[in-house]
Amino acid sequence: MRSLLDVPDMSADEVAAILDLAERPIASLGRPLDGQGVALIFEKPSNRTRHSMEMAVVQLGGHPVYTRGEEVGFDTREPVEDIAKIMSGYHGMIAARVFSHAVVERLAAAADVPVVNMLSDHSHPLQAYADALTMRQCLGGLDGKTVAYVGDYNNVARSLAEISALLGMHVRFGCPPGFDADDAELERILLLGAASIEQTARPHEAVVGAHAVHTDTWVSMGQEDDKEARRQAFEGFTVDDAMMSAADPAAVFMHCLPAYRGFEVTADVIDGPRSVAIQQGHNRLHSARAVLAFLTSRSETGEA
């Protein structure tokens, strides 16, 4: 049974196959979820992930069932494992957005159907597929291209770095001390296949010559109590026109959204001509459909 909890759950070839699937006409995928439900459980708010997943399920012939986290109550109303086993009898797939990554791991261990991580404190693999698809559309072949991520080394950054590494890109981080990747993490990403990996606390250096410049909020969902301290820690890490001018002249600006203008990015950049954030958001649908079609085909063949 194949699940998608983290980007490296797929090989480089499988990532490429899913990106190819994302660009195929919807009708060519058939209706692999015909007659099946897909549980979509959200412990946190969402716009893109909920809507793209619901529509992806519909486009594949299935029926999405949206559920708020408090309704199922992971480990409060009943154990995660009981929820996974019961839902496996109703649905062809279970997807969850959770605070603790351990919850999606436990769901996957107990379920008889594929489990998809729709964002945890650790990773956001569905976002990474949309990021990679968008970079491929904007930059052409990604092998040997440079992706720079400026800001907080968080769930989005980790999944982006992993998929970029699997696609053979040069990966650069510009992150302040205390909000960066440790040496073991850098080594792990390099070993996934990155052309190179570098990290600096000087964000302008991270973007020099980069083909895609990414950022994300400095205050992720669940970190709101630390908002002021975090905003101080990230001073100087705003992606602005001056920073973008250090990148490749044809570089694109990317953001998973929601964006906080004036903090991690200026309005001039995210609303300007180099920004592909809306295309990236729309690609959440195409990449989600591809991930679900891929997982369904793998569970039909009984592949472990």
Binding site residues, ligand CP, CB under 6 A: 46-49, 119, 127, 256-257
d(C-alpha 207, C-alpha 180), whole Å: 16
Residue nearest to ligand CP (CB): 49
Q: Does 105 bind ligand NVA (CB under 6 A)?
A: no
Residue type, 264: E
Neighbouring-strand partners of residue 91: 37
Residue type, 144: G
Site string for ligand NVA, 68-87 (x = CB under 6 A): --------------------
Sheet containing 37-42, strands listed edge to edge, beginning at the edge strand earlier in sequence: 63-68, 37-42, 91-97, 115-117
Q: Which of 13, 27, 35, 53 is nearest to 193 (CA)?
A: 13
Of 40 and 103, nearer to ligand CP (C-beta) is: 40
Neighbouring-strand partners of residue 97: 42
Instruction: Please state, in angstroms and as integers, the Cα–Cα distance from residue 289 to each residue in 24, 29, 217, following that order.
Output: 10, 9, 26
In the complex, minimum distance from the CB of residue 185 to ligand CP, in angstroms, rounded to a whole number: 22
Q: Does 117 bind ligand NVA (CB under 6 A)?
A: no
Q: Residue 43: which of ligand NVA, ligand CP, none does it interact with, CB under 5 to 8 A by kind?
A: none
Q: Residue 216: which of ligand CP, ligand NVA, none does it interact with, CB under 5 to 8 A by kind?
A: ligand NVA
Residues 133-162 that bind ligand NVA (CB under 6 A): 154-156
d(C-alpha 83, C-alpha 107), whole Å: 8
Q: Does 217 bind ligand NVA (CB under 6 A)?
A: yes
In the complex, minimum distance from the CB of residue 158 to ligand CP, in angstroms, rounded to a whole number: 14
d(C-alpha 3, C-alpha 95), whole Å: 10
* Options 84, 142, 256, 292; binder of ligand NVA; rule CB under 6 A: 256
Q: Residue 120: which of ligand CP, ligand NVA, none does it interact with, CB under 5 to 8 A by kind?
A: none
Contact 144, 195 (CB under 8 A): yes
Binding site residues, ligand NVA, CB under 6 A: 119, 154-156, 216-217, 220-221, 256
